[in-house]
Amino acid sequence: MRSNSQLFFPLLLAFLLLQTSCFTRQDRHAENTSTEATETVPKTTEKVPASKPTSTSEKQITSIPKVNVFLEVSGGMVGFMPKGGAASQATNFQKSVAGLLTEVNYNKAVQSKDFYFIREKNGTSQLQKSTYNEVLKTVSAGISNPALGTELPEMLEQILKESGKSQAVSVIVSDFIYGPSDKTKFNIIPQLIRGALNEAQNKDLVVSVFADQSAFTGSFHPAVKQPVAKRELKGTKMPYYVWVIGPQEEVILFNQKVFKNLPEQQAHFGFNYPEPAFEALTKLKPSGNVYCSERKPSGGCKSVTINPQKDTPVEFEIGVNLSSLPTPLQNADFLKKNLQLNGKGFSGTIISVKQANAKDPAQEKYSHLVRVRITQAIAKSGQLTLTLPDNQGDWVNQWTTQNDNNPVAHPGKTFKLKEVLAGVQSLYSEQRNVFSISLNFIKAND
């Protein structure tokens, strides 16, 4: 027995050691696997840089299925398109519109396209299907058989019906002078335009209006016929317009990728812009008692603690990414004039708007810096709200006239342009803000 016991215990000990060893290896493998997975995720997250917001079109589409281009060739358009020649110089209209036609025809963002003339026949507006080469030739060489003037509401209604057949984006080139033969219609221009564009509202389409000027030489037919019904002009600056109508994503892509050298004068109707990325940059040259009191991992600082004093106001920067907005809405001077600081529980103002420094890591996610000054915190907490109203800009008023009979004396104006665009605006039930963003604030104890 003693001999067997001496043999048994070593064997038992070896067996237990073997089991323990096997268990320990499996358990250690499981622990290592779990630990590595747990540690890898944060490390990967830390290495991924913060992504910059992209525009709506970049997120959703990369091409436009169909574009229809319409060029008005009435007698009123002849002066924009003098006959070309070796000794003649192309007008701004000819150069700009030829460039637009070429981009539509060859740009890879446009999958399919058609070209039309807008004519007049038997007193009504008519659309005549053409080709890129013919329309381009007309822009360069002039209108050979100009039609009578077309009624603007009727023209818009026919264009939308035509483009609706193939769900195409409509691009319309015209002087957009509306001088109805029935003078009683002068008082209801917004209502007539709104009715003509009803198809756009039914299909949730948006409208971009681009305005430019060009030398005009030839017969000008004013909407106001007194004291004369026609004037001969020679190189007078006259406005012309390009309207782009279609689904929001396709119109944004067209404006960004196809319509090169956009005019500065623009108006955009019916757009729903995404909320821009923003945060308080309280470490970027602050002034007074201010610091971040709430920082979200993905959104940055969304709440600040402030303590403005009578002689020491608080100042700090708010970074905002406006890169998806139309170019004029990104203009720093425009933003300084139109951006509003409101909210509740404080007194303050915007003191500057400037382009962000893309080379600074603290600013690289943002296109603009808005510096605010808070002079008084009335409540213990509240909100600082930056709002950009959907204003169309001063140019609309500047380019509008109620009497276009003498453009030499008052060049660069279009008859009742403001009323025409008011008709477009009335398609959309409410006046939207381009954006409205809010920061919370807490008043620090004195």
Q: What is the DSSP pairing of strand 265-269 with strand 231-246? A: unpaired
Quote the pLDDT of residue 28: 35
Average pLDDT over residues 141-161: 87
The pLDDT tens digits for 31-67 are 333 322 222 223 333 333 333 333 443 456 899 999 9
Average pLDDT over residues 350-369: 95
Contact between 119 and 126 (Cβ < 8 Å): yes
| 118 closest CA partner among 188, 71, 178 | 71
Residue count (the chain): 446
| 435 or 50: which leads in pLDDT | 435
Contact between 179 and 415 (Cβ < 8 Å): yes
Question: Percent of the chain having pLDDT more than 90?
Answer: 69
- CATH for 58-263+392-430, among 1.10.3720, 3.40.50, 3.30.300, 1.20.120? 3.40.50
Question: Percent of the chain having pLDDT more than 70?
Answer: 83
Is pLDDT at 269 greater than 60 in this prediction? yes
Quote the pLDDT of residue 183: 83
Average pLDDT over residues 354-369: 95
Contact between 346 and 382 (Cβ < 8 Å): yes
Q: Domain coordinates of the chain in residue numbers? A: 58-263+392-430, 278-390+434-443
The pLDDT tens digits for 75-95 are 899 999 998 665 578 999 999
Quote the pLDDT of residue 386: 97
Average pLDDT over residues 266-272: 92
Is pLDDT at 252 greater than 50 in this prediction? yes
Is pLDDT at 427 greater than 70 in this prediction? yes
Tell me what the pLDDT averaged over the chain comes to. Answer: 85
Residues 358-363: contacts with CB within 8 Å, 24+ apart?
362/281, 362/283, 362/284, 363/281, 363/284, 363/319
The pLDDT tens digits for 216-242 are 999 998 999 999 999 999 999 999 999
Quote the pLDDT of residue 137: 96
Quote the pLDDT of residue 121: 64
Quote the pLDDT of residue 85: 60
Q: Nearest 10 degrees: CA dihedral of 432, 433, 434, 437?
A: -140
Quote the pLDDT of residue 42: 32
Average pLDDT over residues 1-19: 42
Average pLDDT over residues 374-380: 95
Quote the pLDDT of residue 119: 87
- CATH for 278-390+434-443, among 2.20.25, 3.30.70, 2.60.40, 3.40.50? 2.60.40
Quote the pLDDT of residue 59: 54
- Kindly give the residue spans of alpha helices, DSSP state H, lying in 107-254: 132-141, 152-166, 189-196, 198-202, 248-253
